[in-house]
Chain A
Amino acid sequence: MSEFNNYMIGNLPVVDDPEKVLNQITTRDYNRYIDNFRGFEERLLESRNSTKLIDQAREDSVTQTRIAKESNARNIDRYGGAGLSAAQRQQQARTFQRGSSLATADNINNARIAQREVNQATMADLINIGQGVNRNSLGMMQEAAGMQQNRYQAYKNARSNYSSQMKGMGAQIGSALLGAFLI
């Protein structure tokens, strides 16, 4: 016997009321969507204005400047000062400071460009998803409005039919009475 025997036709649970089950499934699915994904969706919508890359680039630049400085200091120590004069060391420090400042600025500017690119791509995808949401909701609303209109027309037709029937009956009784008393 297969371990998937329960999934075979004949062993599946009987569905007595498909309409009720469809109602349960769709209601559960919608509620599950709200429960599992709505918060995530809200966060993703907010993320179109993210500045994460720029903030991170600032932090990273500071860290990398520190690491490069420490690494260079260790390298110089390793070679016993590397034969550098005080003036050379001072110039090296200045160059490092200028170079790292420029690198930080460059990094942050590049991060801004990249962030803009990522945010715009996110926004484009969100707009696509949003269009689908809008289309779906409008479709549902149109259906709801159409159904209401059908019901209203059916009610008006029923009233009109009823009124015609009553008039017909009145006319029949009236002519019978006229026939009885006038002829």
Chain B
Amino acid sequence: MASKPKKSEYQASEAEKINASVANAENKYFAEKYDPILVEMVSDAMSQNVDNLLAGRAGADTQQALSKPSLAAARSVDSAADMASAAGAQILRARVGGEKAQKNLALSGLAGARGQQQDATTGLATLARLENTATLESAKRKLANRQANIDFGKELAGTVYQTGKTNMAAGGGFFGQGLDRSTGLKQGTQVDKENPGRGTIGDRLMGGLFG
């Protein structure tokens, strides 16, 4: 018969321990160093006014190009309107560029954050799976134990019944009332060839264990 299982035989191997340590340390490092970058990126995407910066630059460029002192411009009937139109168009172009850049940054940040969140939920699902497997295994173990208990009870009941029957056949009660405990014969009956009896308790025990 195999020996009782020892908990120590089911401990994690050295490689498994290292694997867990490295994974934990890497995750900690990620949380400390990389995660804040994503938070920073997202926070920048929402707070920075890139379009204002670019619009200011576009406005200044337009003024530099078109507002030089000029007699022809002063006399022109439409140079001021052209200047307003050009500046407006340039600034709009800058704002659109800024808005697109900011949205791209924000969406990349959200995609990164969502990816990270999905990794977290996948991890939680893995955990749930592990726990579910443990629950099922535990149920299986309980079932096997219950089966063993029932088999044990059946075996015991069978032996009691058989012994009781033998006791009654020998003229005693079901539980051996009126019989000699060592021979299994009715009290006062001598052991001889015709009535060999069942042997001593020791004989019967050894016979039961080793056939």
A-side residues, CB < 8 A to B, are 7, 9, 12-15, 18-19, 21-23, 25-30, 32-33, 36-37, 40-41, 43-44, 47, 52-53, 56-57, 60-61, 64-65, 67-69, 71-72, 75-76, 78-79, 82-84, 88, 91-92, 95-96, 98-100, 102-104, 106-107, 110-111, 114, 118, 121-122, 125-126, 129, 132-133, 136-137, 139-140, 143-144, 147, 150-151, 154-155, 157-158, 161-162, 165-166, 169, 172-173, 176, 180
**A95 close to B77 (CB less than 8 A):** yes
Sort chain B's interface into a size bin: 35 or more
**B20 close to A15 (CB less than 8 A):** yes
**A15's contact among B24, B91, B115, by CB below 8 Å, is which?**
B24
CB-CB under 8 A for A79 and B74, given A12-B24, A21-B24, A151-B132:
yes
**A7 close to B29 (CB less than 8 A):** yes
Q: What chain A residues lie within 8 Å of B191 (beta carbons)? A: none
CB-CB under 8 A for A71 and B126, given A12-B24, A21-B20:
no
Distance between A35 CB and nearest chain B CB, rounded to angstroms? 10
How many A-B contacts at CB < 8 Å in the complex?
Answer: 266
Given contacts A83-B75, A92-B76, A144-B125, 10 further A-B contacts (CB under 8 A): A18-B23, A29-B116, A33-B120, A60-B91, A65-B84, A71-B83, A98-B81, A99-B78, A107-B89, A158-B143
